[in-house]
Amino acid sequence: MNIPDDLYYTENHEWGKVEDGDLRVGITDYAQEELGDIVFVDLLPEGTAVSRGDSVGTVESVKAVSEVYAPVDGEITEVNPALEDAPELVNQDPYGKAWMVVIRMTDPSAARSLMDSRAYEEYVKAEAK
Amino acid sequence: MRTPLFQEHVRFHGRIVDFHGWEMPVWYSGIREEHLATRTSAGIFDASHMGEIFVKGPSCVPFLERVQTRSIEKMPRHKVCYSFFLNERGGIIDDLTVYCVEPGERYMLCVNASNTGKDLAWLSSHNGEGADIDDASTGTALIALQGPDASRILNSVTGIDLDGMKAYTFACVPTGPYGELMVSKTGYTGAGGAEIFLASGHAPKLWEELTARGAVPCGLGARDTLRLEMGFPLHGNDIDETTTPLEAYLNFAVDLAKPSFIGKDALARQREEGLSRRLVGLLLEGRGVPRQGCACEKDGVRVGIVTSGSVSPVLGVGIALAYLDKGVAEGDEVDVAVRDRALKARVVHPPFTGGALCIIPKRT
């Protein structure tokens, strides 16, 4: 399972990458494996204000549907347009081409309260048991 | 519980889930890949969790005539038919296939895994005729080999000529390495192929040989999307004790002409009075996936509910089976409530795609 060192993680299996005051958000390799073949990704539009824990969209596989939650407070400033026509990118490249939204953080230091890669690895191991 | 093929599922990295108490693979490589392999080449499925019940003895025919919906009196040797156990209200206790092993003497019933215990208890409690009922489920494995290449692969491993068999028949073939195989030209995918019953101990070896010749291991996920694409109902989702075969468009598997069977009076009455709802197909017009339990509306009025839904890997759109009020016709547009959205869907008559071989008789 791939857990890059330079990202932050949530308990709902989102990842976040800090880019100045923005957080680029997607779902983790573990999450896409658990969901299986992704068939639809549906995201909130740019300009939406979100609080930590709010849904920013849904990811739907053949078997199940799963919410994607905002890891931090802020405003959605970008939405990945590629996922509408190519949802399978989530399975193929969860940390790259399949980023979902960019959130401008209300508090630029908020990402530091999330898990780092080591903590997330432990968390996933515990959850898998 | 585990089937005799559990170690094979582990070896092929199957993702194991609980299915009514059975540890079964939901997928190995992925539902879409397995689904498409079955449509274009060959998929192999472990269905060993299903129940096999033998009914034997001098009174087996009158007993079976009463407890299931098909007339079996004139059923020829090695013929298979799809049938139901019904309650007095015409509700479906289970759907099953009946195998005529020896006419008048010995029949095998293949029933749903999750219903086997319930079916056995129900059969015993209705066995006034004193037929001999023998549950062979534990010692019997079932491997489904489905798809356009199934026949070639089966032939290369066992020498059996599936192409020379008619649909809905079976053959009992003794083999050296796998014992006696009961090879049935049936399936639950619409892709053609065989279902093979054999003694549990021989199952891993046959599975290994069939997969070595290119059959792609498929889990319950692909089994579900394949059957849904064909519009085949799943007991517990689309049919149950509160729905009748007439409502589910499965009249072909009910012989209302035979003198008597449990549930017949209720069905005859329902046919006379007319149906209030019918099981139909829904084809989504936009993005989204309908799921079991989603409400359906037409012109703002509730007209029914989705009983099975997914996305068709062949078509790439959402498909569903739903019970809709009789006023809704084929070709109509309905709204399916998927979470906070109303998704447009067209009412259609399944199958949603043409399988390689559609062996379910035309619905009337």
**pLDDT, tens digit, for every residue of B296-308?**
999 999 999 999 9
Specify the residue for token string 């017949």.
Answer: B264
Identify the three-state secondary structure at position A53. coil
pLDDT band at A64; cut points 50, 70, 90? confident
**pLDDT, tens digit, for every residue of B205-260?**
999 999 999 999 999 999 999 999 999 999 999 999 999 999 999 999 999 999 99
**Which of B32, B287, B339 is facing A37, going by the closest CB pair?**
B32
Domain count, chain A: 1
**CB spacing of A63 vs B221 below 8 angstroms:** yes
Range of the domain at B167: 6-50+138-230
Percentage of residues of chain B with pLDDT beyond 90: 95
CA dist., res. B256 & res. B239, Å (int): 19
Q: Kindly give, in sequence order, each residue whose CB lies less than 8 Å from that of residue B36, ignoring residues fewer than 6 positions away.
A: B313, B314
CATH number at residue B41: 3.30.1360.120
Range of the domain at A79: 10-122
Identify the three-state secondary structure at position B206. helix
pLDDT band at B339; cut points 50, 70, 90? confident
Nearest to B336 by CA among B363, B318, B360, B348: B318
Residues B189 and B114 in one domain: no
B277-307 burial: b if 16+ Cβ within 10 Å, else e? bbbbbbbbeebbbbbbebebebeeeebbbbb
- The encoded tokens of residue B346 equal 């067209």
Average pLDDT over residues B21-34: 96
pLDDT of residue B256: 95
**CB spacing of B32 vs A62 below 8 angstroms:** yes
Q: Which residues in A lie closer than 8 A to residue B36 (C-beta atoms)? A: none
Residue B272 above 80 pLDDT?
yes
Identify the three-state secondary structure at position B355. coil
Q: Chains A and B: how many Cβ contacts under 8 Å?
A: 38
Strand order in the sheet with B216-218: B170-175, B179-184, B193-199, B140-146, B43-46, B216-218
Domain count, chain B: 3
Residues B116 and B184 in one domain: no
CA dist., res. B356 & res. B117, Å (int): 34
Q: Residue B118: is it exposed, middle or buried by C-beta count within 10 angstroms (0-12/13-18/19+)? A: middle
Q: Which residues in B lie closer than 8 A to residue A58 (C-beta atoms)? A: 339
pLDDT of residue B359: 38
Tell me if A1 is assigned to some domain.
no
Specify the residue for token string 């032939």.
Answer: B155
CA dist., res. B132 & res. B82, Å (int): 21
Residue A63 above 90 pLDDT?
no
Tell me if B243 is assigned to some domain.
no
Residues B208 and B317 in one domain: no
Average pLDDT, chain B: 95
Q: Which amino acid is at A106?
A: T
**pLDDT, tens digit, for every residue of B147-160?**
999 999 999 999 99
Residues B112 and B184 in one domain: no
ipTM for this prediction: 0.82
Nearest to B152 by CA among B143, B161, B144, B164: B161
Average pLDDT over residues A13-22: 96
CA dist., res. B151 & res. B133, Å (int): 33
**Which of A36, A42, A84 is facing B27, going by the closest CB pair?**
A36
Bond before B351 cis per omega within 30 degrees: yes
**pLDDT, tens digit, for every residue of A50-60?**
999 999 999 99
Average pLDDT over residues B107-122: 98
Nearest to A49 by CA among A95, A105, A92: A105
- The encoded tokens of residue B148 equal 């356009």
CATH number at residue B97: 3.30.70.1400
CATH number at residue A61: 2.40.50.100
Q: Which residues in B lie closer than 8 A to residue A84 (C-beta atoms)? A: 287
Residues B210 and B142 in one domain: yes
